[in-house]
């Protein structure tokens, strides 16, 4: 059996698979107040790991039953798509946040810690981390030589859902042009051209639409003024962008369902903020349609927020003229991780060493 670990900004998802069949799963939710006790993502590691161990014990699942532990990949160096064994260099880069701090950095670290607790020789892996890089060259260019656009997006779920859509429609993923919008604690919108994500907003550092916890693209001049105002530290400004921004800052909540209910019961301010939320996502989808030169086979809305029909309906009303909109609510990341590790251990795909 395989233990699957997927830390997100507002939850930790865990599952046990036998080959590609799910045996048990649960989601541990984390409130803003709960996570605010920790000064950094890395400081959350013992807390999240213990919650996982407690859940496994409560479910009667023994660590001796695992063949492998696989976690969601984090902000390491840019890498190709695939399955990587967690080695010391990867752990060092995940701890330091080689390309930034994000909850996904904990995936490989927790996987390695739990694998080490197993009585048999169990290895830890990651697959399709957020730093998978398939950008076309012109997508990297920013407006100043000191800056460069880079690839950080929800690669695992975007790839998995795109392949699922392709299978559902009897075609190869590599034959399609798709726009995939992952709607979760962070929001990424990717342009998938014939099996490669050639452009995406850089969701980790705040590029693109605002999300439950991220501010998205902010007015640059105002941001520069705040940075040099002397009122805020580097950490405080970055927290405004990633962790304490977006709906958390605007509405004091990262719970989209509760906010939608509040808006629908007459709260005009919350309704306005949610309209802006959907509006910005739709704008990003429109931008990616230009990347694909209007040749878009489908628009896919996925992630936890895609479970809310009011949100998806608002987005659909803006972008349906581009291509048909298909909703794949939730995330297929757990199955994607299980499938990847099964293929790797059976020899169908190579296990990559992180260098």
Question: H-helix or E-strand containing 120?
Answer: none
Q: Which residue bears the tokens 């959907």?
A: 278
Q: Confidence class of residue 279 from pLDDT cuts 50, 70 and 90?
A: very high
Q: What is the pLDDT of residue 349?
A: 86
Q: Confidence class of residue 287 from pLDDT cuts 50, 70 and 90?
A: very high
Q: What is the pLDDT of residue 242?
A: 87
Angle at 239 between CA 311 and CA 79, to 5 degrees: 80
Report how far residue 353's alpha carbon sits from residue 172's, in angstroms, rounded to the nearest whole number.
28
- Classify strands 83-85 and 11-18 as parallel, antiparallel or unpaired: unpaired
H helices, E strands: number in the chain? 12, 12
Closest CA to 255 of 312, 207, 305, 205: 305
Percent of the chain surpassing pLDDT 90: 86
Question: How confident is the model over 47-80, as pLDDT tens digits?
Answer: 999 999 999 999 999 999 999 999 999 999 999 8
Q: What is the pLDDT of residue 85?
A: 98
pTM, two decimals, is 0.84
Question: How confident is the model over 214-240, as pLDDT tens digits?
Answer: 999 999 999 999 999 999 999 999 999
Q: What is the DSSP letter of 248?
A: H
Per the prediction, the chain carries an average pLDDT of 95
Report how far residue 230's alpha carbon sits from residue 105's, in angstroms, rounded to the nearest whole number.
30
Q: What is the pLDDT of residue 185?
A: 86
Q: Is the distance from CB of 137 to CB of 198 less than 8 angstroms?
A: no
Q: What is the pLDDT of residue 243?
A: 85
Report how far residue 77's alpha carbon sits from residue 167's, in angstroms, rounded to the nearest whole number.
31
Closest CA to 8 of 198, 122, 157, 189: 157
Mean pLDDT of 149-164: 92
Q: What is the pLDDT of residue 205?
A: 81
Q: Confidence class of residue 147 from pLDDT cuts 50, 70 and 90?
A: very high
Show the tokens assigned to 268.
């005009």
Q: Which residue bears the tokens 């916890």?
A: 213
Question: How confident is the model over 119-136, as pLDDT tens digits?
Answer: 989 999 999 998 999 999
**Greatest distance between any 2 Cα atoms in the chain:** 57
Centroid of chain to Cα 30: 16
Question: How confident is the model over 298-351, as pLDDT tens digits?
Answer: 999 999 999 999 999 999 999 999 999 999 998 778 999 998 999 899 998 899
The domains found in the chain, sorted by start residue, are 2-132+333-353 (3.30.420.40), 137-323 (3.30.420.40)
Question: How confident is the model over 179-215, as pLDDT tens digits?
Answer: 999 999 899 999 999 999 999 999 878 799 999 999 9
Exposure letters 12-31 (e unless 16+ CB within 10 A, then b) = bbbbbbeeeeeebeeeeebe
Mean pLDDT of 9-24: 91
**Which DSSP string do the residues of 75-106 spell out, in sequence order?**
S-S-B-SSEEE--HHHHHHHHHTTT---TTHH
302 phi, psi to nearest 5 deg:
-140, 180
- Classify strands 196-200 and 187-193 as parallel, antiparallel or unpaired: antiparallel
Q: Is the pLDDT of residue 10 over 90?
A: no
To the nearest 10°, report the CA torsion of 185, 188, 192, 195.
Answer: -50
Report how far residue 3's alpha carbon sits from residue 18's, in angstroms, rounded to the nearest whole number.
9
Give the HSE-up count for residue 303: Cα atoms under 13 Å, Cβ half-sphere. Answer: 27
Q: What is the pLDDT of residue 32?
A: 79
Report how far residue 260's alpha carbon sits from residue 308's, in angstroms, rounded to the nearest whole number.
9
Q: What is the pLDDT of residue 311?
A: 98
Q: Is the pLDDT of residue 264 over 90?
A: yes
Q: Which residue bears the tokens 């995330």?
A: 331
Q: Confidence class of residue 81 from pLDDT cuts 50, 70 and 90?
A: confident
Q: Confidence class of residue 33 from pLDDT cuts 50, 70 and 90?
A: confident
Q: Between the ranges 26-35, 156-165, 264-273, where is the mean pLDDT highest?
A: 264-273
Report how far residue 205's alpha carbon sits from residue 54's, in angstroms, rounded to the nearest whole number.
33
């Amino acid at each position: 059996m395989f233990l699957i670990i997927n830390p997100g900004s507002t939850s930790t998802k865990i599952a046990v698979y036998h080959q590609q069949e799910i045996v048990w799963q649960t989601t541990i939710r984390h409130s803003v107040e709960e996570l605010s006790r920790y000064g950094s993502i890395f400081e959350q590691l013992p807390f999240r790991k213990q919650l996982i161990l407690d859940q496994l014990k409560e479910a009667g699942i023994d660590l001796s039953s695992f063949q492998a532990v696989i976690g969601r990949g984090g902000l390491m160096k840019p890498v190709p798509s695939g399955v990587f064994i967690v080695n010391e260099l990867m752990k060092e880069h995940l701890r330091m946040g080689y390309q930034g701090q994000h909850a996904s950095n904990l995936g490989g670290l927790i996987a390695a810690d739990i694998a080490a607790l197993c009585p048999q020789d169990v290895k830890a892996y990651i697959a399709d981390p957020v730093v998978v890089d398939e950008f076309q060259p012109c997508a990297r260019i920013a407006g100043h030589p000191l800056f460069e656009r880079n690839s950080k997006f929800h690669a695992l779920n975007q790839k998995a859902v795109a392949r699922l859509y392709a299978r559902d429609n009897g075609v190869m993923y590599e034959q399609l042009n798709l726009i995939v919008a992952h709607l979760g604690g962070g929001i990424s919108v990717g342009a998938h051209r014939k099996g490669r994500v050639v452009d995406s907003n850089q969701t980790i550092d705040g590029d693109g639409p605002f999300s439950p916890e991220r501010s998205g693209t902010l007015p640059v001049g105002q941001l520069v003024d705040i940075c040099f105002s002397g009122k805020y530290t580097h950490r405080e400004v970055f927290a405004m962008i990633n962790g304490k921004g977006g709906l958390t800052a605007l509405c004091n909540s990262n719970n989209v369902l509760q906010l939608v209910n509040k808006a629908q019961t007459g709260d005009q301010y919350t309704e306005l903020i949610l309209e802006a939320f959907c509006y910005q996502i739709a704008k990003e989808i429109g931008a990616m349609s230009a990347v694909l030169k209007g040749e878009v086979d489908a628009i896919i809305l996925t992630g936890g927020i895609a479970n809310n029909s009011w949100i998806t309906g608002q987005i659909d009303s803006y972008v349906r003229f581009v291509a048909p909109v298909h909703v794949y609510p939730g995330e297929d990341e757990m199955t994607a991780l299980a499938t990847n590790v099964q293929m790797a251990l059976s020899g169908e795909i190579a296990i990559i060493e992180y260098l």
